[in-house]
């Protein structure tokens, strides 16, 4: 969720970042459920169920958008999980730079700790940058990074990964020793399947993956997430 790059190219113009047809993402981007109709969404930043406790700037709809390449690779992940009675649930995909800026403003306001107990009970808010949970540039804004988990198709429940999505703490690190064998197997299933189909993990957050051969490795987009 928080990858950092030295080279920054911002796509800040709305006219250059959206196609002429309203609701269609930037050229080269797709709505994930157009490519993977069976995917499940829980786009937290479009609502109040997130560490800010409010909708995040740039999220005008609970939609997941990715580059065509990332969505195609993710479809292969979904197809493999389907054979095991499982499917993907997406928490976040493309993230506008304005949303990242919103995170930065929130992190710098040390008086706003409304969601501390739920999302970062053991981490001082002043250390969120230092520990890699918040950054000034996110791989999500390049369009080929996704936050996700696995759902059991029979029960509709998420597999137990040992910590909730976006929980800021050591227990969310992939190699933590604070989870059970079952939770570790679930994390490993997600990682091995994602890696098999071209994604690389982020060790601080078990849910975070980026396409290795991402098409825009130095471009940070800012078009908003809108409904189709």
As annotated, the active-site residues are 205
CB contact at 8 A, 20 and 71: no
- Of 29, 61, 41, nearest to 228 by C-alpha is 61
Report CA 210 to chain centroid distance, whole Å: 9
As a whole number of angstroms, the distance between CA 105 and CA 156 comes to 36
Cα separation values, 190 from 13, 55, 87, 150, Å? 36, 28, 11, 7
SS3 state of residue 37: coil
Instruction: Record the tokens describing residue 208, joined without a space.
Output: 């975070």
As a whole number of angstroms, the distance between CA 126 and CA 146 comes to 26
β-sheet bridge partners, residue 54:
none
Helix, strand and coil content of the chain, in percent to the nearest 5, comes to 30, 20, 50
β-sheet bridge partners, residue 150:
88
């Amino acid at each position: 969720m928080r990858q950092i790059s030295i080279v920054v190219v911002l796509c800040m113009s709305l006219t250059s970042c959206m196609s002429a047809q309203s609701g269609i993402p930037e050229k080269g981007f797709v709505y994930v459920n157009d490519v993977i109709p069976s995917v499940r969404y829980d786009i937290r930043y479009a609502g109040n169920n997130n560490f800010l406790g409010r909708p995040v700037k740039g999220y005008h709809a609970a939609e997941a958008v990715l580059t065509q390449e990332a969505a195609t690779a993710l479809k292969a992940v979904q197809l493999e999980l389907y054979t095991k009675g499982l499917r993907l649930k997406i928490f976040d995909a493309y993230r506008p730079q304005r949303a990242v800026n919103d995170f930065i403003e929130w992190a710098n306001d040390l008086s706003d700790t409304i969601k501390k107990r739920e999302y970062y009970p053991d981490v001082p808010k002043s250390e969120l940058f230092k520990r890699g949970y918040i950054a000034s540039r996110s791989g999500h804004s390049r369009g080929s990074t996704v936050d996700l988990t696995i759902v059991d198709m029979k029960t509709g429940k998420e597999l137990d990964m040992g910590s909730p999505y976006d929980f800021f703490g050591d227990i969310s690190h992939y190699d933590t020793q604070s989870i059970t064998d079952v939770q570790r197997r679930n994390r490993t299933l997600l990682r091995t399947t994602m890696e098999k189909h071209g994604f690389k993990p982020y060790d601080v957050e078990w849910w975070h993956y980026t396409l290795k051969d991402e098409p825009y490795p130095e471009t940070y987009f800012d078009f908003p997430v809108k409904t189709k």
